[in-house]
Amino acid sequence: MSGTSLDGVDAVLADFSTNLPQLIASQHIGFDPALRAELLALNQTGENELERAALAANHLARHYAMAVHALLAQQQISAQQVAAIGCHGQTVRHRPELGYTLQLNNPALLVEITGISVVADFRSRDIAAGGQGAPLVPAFHAAVFSHPEKHRVIVNIGGIANLTDLPLNGKIIGFDCGPGNMLLDAWCAAHTGHAFDDNGAWAASGRVIPALLSALLQVPYFQQRPPKSTGRDVFNSAWLQSFLRAEYAPQDVQATLLQLTVQTISQAIKHDCAGVQEVFVCGGGARNGALIKALRHAFAERAAPVALTDALGIPAEQVEALAFAWLARQTQHGEAGNLPAVTGANHPCVLGAIYPSGMHLR
């Protein structure tokens, strides 16, 4: 998995021989600055972007392969023992309202480098069936985190924040709440030179700007009813800049962006997940102490404790990569990977395309 935070590749080795997937090991391979800058640039139109996108996809495939090889070497497992790689690719456009989503990837190259079958292109089938193509992880959340006696909500805070509602009765829903780490990381990098705000310390040093927070919360996306999904196409640095004033101190903007993430998550749960008893957080944002503290404060009055998915047996940073391993298995077994109530698709779909390793033709 490589997500909108653009920090690198997260890979997991998963065992599906029991009812619930077992996480055996994980590996992180960071993006070099040049690749990260190019992937960020490709979120916008630019000169020679088709060739640049193809070259970036090749570069990504080699990063994915590095993560796979490191993981197998760490566990002394051969490629022949692996059923498949589930590889999401890097989203550079997400426009479901126009009928498409685009994830950079070269699964054929990944097969050639690793010798392992690859399942890729998970989102396009759901969009073809009338859905948003996202979020896709709620089906996995339902499979591994549902509880027979507890109404849970799972919140994934990556570049974008999304949630999955797991009620005791009724349909499972899920949707993108809005920005997660994406704007926080971009603002921090621009003003401190650091790729992210370690533990939210810089945001904690600032004060929320009420007028700015109020203006940001008026954006129509936050009032839009699910199913819905979003990305850098809507929430980006240029979008943020349109709300800023010269007198705003950078650390105060950071504090405000953190509160934007907290409030959009909190409001989404309040409006769409009535009766929630437990909230579990995963994704890179789960390691932002200031963000988790603010979320816990927001839910204190609702008597809904906020914890990390580590407490449920899956480390917060590995949940999404494990979800795409699970989705790859769904594809190989010919089973649906989407939830129409989440994405808005007309029907359940088998997601993804399989690139088999096979044997060399003679």
Query: Which residue ranges form the domains of the chain, and what is each CATH number?
Result: 8-132+347-355 (3.30.420.40), 138-317 (3.30.420.40)
Q: Is the confidence at residue 265, as pLDDT, over 50?
A: yes
Q: What is the mean pLDDT of residues 272-291?
A: 96
Q: Residue 302: what pLDDT? A: 76
Q: Is the confidence at residue 211, as pLDDT, over 50?
A: yes
Average pLDDT across the chain, whole number: 95
Q: What is the mean pLDDT of residues 250-268?
A: 98
| pLDDT tens-digit series, residues 66-113 | 999 999 999 999 999 999 999 999 999 999 999 999 999 999 999 999
**Token pair of 167 as six digits:** 């009620």
| pLDDT tens-digit series, residues 127-161 | 999 999 999 999 999 999 999 999 999 999 999 99
Q: Residue 358: what pLDDT? A: 80
Q: What is the DSSP letter of 347?
A: S
Q: Residue 5: what pLDDT? A: 84
Kindly report the pTM of this predicted structure.
0.94
DSSP conformation letters of 119-146? EE--SHHHHHTTS-----THHHHHHHH-
Q: What is the mean pLDDT of residues 189-199?
A: 95
Rg over alpha carbons for the chain, rounded to the nearest Å, is 20
Tell which residue, 215, 206, 184, has the closest CA to residue 197. 184
Contact 33, 187 (CB under 8 A): no
Q: Is the confidence at residue 324, as pLDDT, over 70?
A: yes
Query: Residue 362: which pLDDT band, with cuts at 50, 70 and 90?
Result: very low
Q: What is the mean pLDDT of residues 179-208?
A: 96
Tell which residue, 67, 63, 62, 61, has the closest CA to residue 13. 67
Q: Residue 37: what pLDDT? A: 94
Query: Residue 121: which pLDDT band, with cuts at 50, 70 and 90?
Result: very high
Q: Residue 303: what pLDDT? A: 72
Q: What is the mean pLDDT of residues 5-13?
A: 93
Least confident stretch, 2-6, 205-209, 272-276, 318-322: 2-6
Contact 153, 173 (CB under 8 A): no
Q: Is the confidence at residue 224, as pLDDT, over 90?
A: yes
Q: Residue 361: what pLDDT? A: 46
